[in-house]
Chain A
């Protein structure tokens, strides 16, 4: 460092304040930051107006609460499908979701490679990668399923493809983010040693991003499990379809029974995710979800009962090998070729085979019509023609743009409501903010429950207490948004550096002061990111708005799909795509400016 302080300089401590104030630099703000701040303020203001406009009225909801009670009274005791059928459906759902997620993961690798700024071959490729990312996200999975049902045999393949292609959006985005965050050192070293691009990727990048990639895929798998409900509405098999049939025939008790099974599955999946993650990454889980906590508890009890040393497995293995290889002559190098079967290796191998078995089992149970993958090409032109050119059908452009505007309004209002509540709930669900474990656990549980409630039930409860319309739509989206944003916010807050928090605690700052001065500023960027992600999700959330008669573009999309007016579907998807692109652009700008 060149400039130097002179610690020796000893300004009179009492040197008059004025002169310090004068010598202090003027506070500079970049015009871009001001512009971004103003944009943000404008968006929030628009959201407030939209919220006021949605006509949410607490008194009338209170008045109508009896309707909800009468509805629940009619639901009666929860029932389940017959065990054999339930087992089959459950296995099928898991298989379908797993295949879909894996498909998305495989396709996402090259997409992410093109989209990441440090690996992309050029700006054109990067734009292409990013576009694929946004496009796959913007096309609702329901629409994809609609198309694939026409191209493929009814059954699992349309579902797998719909889940798979829609998931590419999120997975490739997070994959690319992970690539951009790697330490460039190892990659540089491989290049310096004469390695090829391909080798740079496999040896320099892959090992670094693998843990994050695995976490992403497992997270998406969880989302897809819940999402398979939606696909049920367009005839994609599994628990989701069974549930949608039950709700359609007003058999709420069976529908709720299936919803409970799915909820239990999601929890089991979360536990499994956590186990797999910790096994694959070889690190103790950082402790976010239920599963992580379980794993940690098991580990603790195990380590407590064993030698009592919390020695990492790698160092346990080392003392056995190191001295011998150093001391013995070359012949024993041959022996050293064989990696010893220590506990770690056995565990990893077993896990590997289990994983493989699960994947193979998934593919088998899905009973995929492989031949379709060859024959469907013949159908593509005929189907493609039905989707082109985009057209508004019987509706005029004003109606459609009005509906798009309505969707944006509801999305903004719902996002605002959800974020306000999520910041509160999410903060209290973060280990470093919650006053105690009980608060944190109950908030986490609340978030899981919110995510586990079926959309249809939520919609119906809201309709009977608020009536049809935007009010129910806004509340439904906001409610669902809390489940998503609350979890993301809690995770992000838990991931902030704990040092500054500790430093402030050491100055005697109170809990709320530490939160405001250390946790919040560090989590702000993530918070902005999550808010825009939620807005994006809400704009795309067609199904629930359609159900509650909340208006908006989603109704027209579903209706056009149901009525097979595919040109209208194309037109609406394009409108949504443009909107989502704008939101994505805003989000990227904000994240850059408010670093």
Chain B
């Protein structure tokens, strides 16, 4: 390709950098790079649990500190809590065994396992009593639009969130495919970048004649109406498979099915706040099969990130 003459110095540079990093990072060379295959392994050490989080649902102002306090109190270990904004970062951390416990989207879970992360889902957080884990991906049109069902999206300008969004692209793509509409060519896709922008632009009806977004953002707008919705599996709390058996069992017990009141009762007073109650009501157990829907969607939509 034409570019090759321009890019080879950059390639060389990237290689050089990699070598440079290798050189300065390993003064005494590490042959034990694949260390720790045998037996239990922690991300940091046996007295520390690393909890990684990428906020899943858009309206969540994650403030899981009380949950961390709860885990620390129950296990007697120090809990390091890290919030990231980037799915890829957390997936790679999981693949590299740099997290012990994590909470991220269902889609991220599937992707991480496809890429070799040794993790098991134990439960999913719900925010209100009686809820099922998960949330809805909704298909929306401007109020008064003559589009009444998904089939009507064909040939229209359709707002998605971004190609990596579960509820803003993958589920919608799947649903469109089921209607015989190719999400790339059967509609004019517009990527809004964020859920609220997708809602706003659809509401205005100029740049997008229809769109998709998550239920919580759709609810904020009075300019759109929902014509279809699909349940998106809730974000799992996962534990690393490399942790010792008894610890995994303990974590499953304490995090598998627990309510905010039980956490408060166990002596974690910080949990008794409106801020925490607004993002956490209880956990409900989930297992790997719960995410088969996502695997099915991966297969249908041939989404890039599903490839291992």
Contact = CB atoms under 8 A, between A and B. Distances in A.
A binds B: yes
Contacts of B20: 446
A199 interface: no
A467 B21 CA distance: 17
B115 A250 contact: yes
A395 B61 contact: yes
A154 B35 contact: no
A562 B58 contact: yes
Interface stretch (B126-134, B192-200, B244-252): B192-200
Give the residue among A248, A450, A452, A459 with the most B Cβ atoms within 10 A. A248
Nearest to B22: A65
A463 B93 contact: yes
A62 B28 contact: yes
A339 interface: no
A565 interface: yes
A295 interface: no
Interface in B35-64: 35, 43-44, 50, 52, 55, 58-63
Contacts of A446: 20
Interface in A448-491: 448-450, 452-453, 456, 459-461, 463-469
Interface stretch (A102-110, A217-225, A541-549): A541-549
A249 B196 contact: no
B86 A551 contact: no
Interface in B126-161: none
A559 B84 CA distance: 9
A362 B35 CA distance: 53
A249 B84 contact: no
A564 B58 contact: yes
Interface in B257-302: 275, 278-279
Interface stretch (A22-30, A69-77, A324-332, A429-437): A69-77
Interface in B57-103: 58-63, 80, 82-93, 95-99
A104 to B, nearest CB: 23
Give the residue among B84, B91, B111 with the most A Cβ atoms within 10 A. B84
B126 to A, nearest CB: 17
A563 B35 contact: no
A270 to B, nearest CB: 13
A131 interface: no
A329 B66 CA distance: 95
A543 B11 CA distance: 25
Contact of B63 (A65, A86, A395, A445): A395
A564 B194 contact: yes
Interface residues of B, number: 78
Contacts of B192: 149, 154, 235
B190 A562 contact: no
Contact of B17 (A58, A64, A449, A547): A449
Contact of B30 (A63, A71, A154): A63
Interface residues on A, range: 35 or more
Contacts of A564: 58, 194-196, 217
A66 B217 CA distance: 42
Interface stretch (A113-121, A258-266, A309-317, A586-594): A258-266
A464 B82 CA distance: 14
Given A62-B28, A464-B93, A467-B44, A250 B88 contact: yes
Interface in A557-581: 558-560, 562-565, 568
Interface string A45-76: 00000000000001001111111111110100
A394 B278 contact: yes
Given A463-B98, A549-B52, A562 B85 contact: yes
B7 interface: yes
Contact of B83 (A150, A449, A555, A563): A555
A251 interface: yes
Contacts of A83: 1-2
Contacts of A247: 88
A533 interface: no
A249 B163 contact: yes
B200 A150 contact: yes
A236 B11 CA distance: 27
A564 B57 CA distance: 12
B25 A154 contact: no
Given A463-B98, A559-B85, A65 B2 contact: no
Contact of B96 (A154, A463, A550): A463
Contacts of B10: 260, 263-264, 267, 452
A38 interface: no
A248 B305 CA distance: 8
A393 interface: yes
Contact of B305 (A64, A250, A543): A250
Contacts of A459: 86, 89
A376 to B, nearest CB: 12
Given A62-B26, A235-B192, A264-B6, A563 B17 contact: no
A543 B85 CA distance: 8
B303 interface: yes
A453 B17 contact: yes
A563 B58 contact: yes
A551 B83 contact: yes
Contacts of A460: 88-89, 92
Contacts of A181: none
B193 A394 contact: no
B50 A245 contact: no
A248 B88 contact: yes
A61 B304 CA distance: 31
A459 B85 CA distance: 12
B50 to A, nearest CB: 6
Given A248-B86, A249-B164, 15 more contacts: A146-B194, A154-B190, A394-B275, A395-B63, A468-B93, A543-B85, A547-B85, A548-B89, A551-B83, A555-B83, A558-B85, A559-B61, A559-B62, A560-B61, A568-B61
21 contacts: A70-B95, A71-B92, A83-B1, A86-B3, A149-B192, A154-B192, A154-B207, A251-B305, A261-B7, A263-B7, A268-B6, A449-B14, A453-B14, A465-B25, A468-B90, A468-B99, A558-B85, A559-B83, A563-B55, A564-B217, A568-B61
Interface of B: 1-3, 6-7, 9-11, 13-14, 16-18, 20-22, 25-28, 30, 32-35, 43-44, 50, 52, 55, 58-63, 80, 82-93, 95-99, 111, 115, 162-164, 190-197, 200-201, 206-207, 217, 275, 278-279, 303-305
Closest 8 CB pairs of A and B: A235-B193, A66-B33, A549-B82, A248-B164, A468-B82, A464-B96, A546-B85, A249-B305
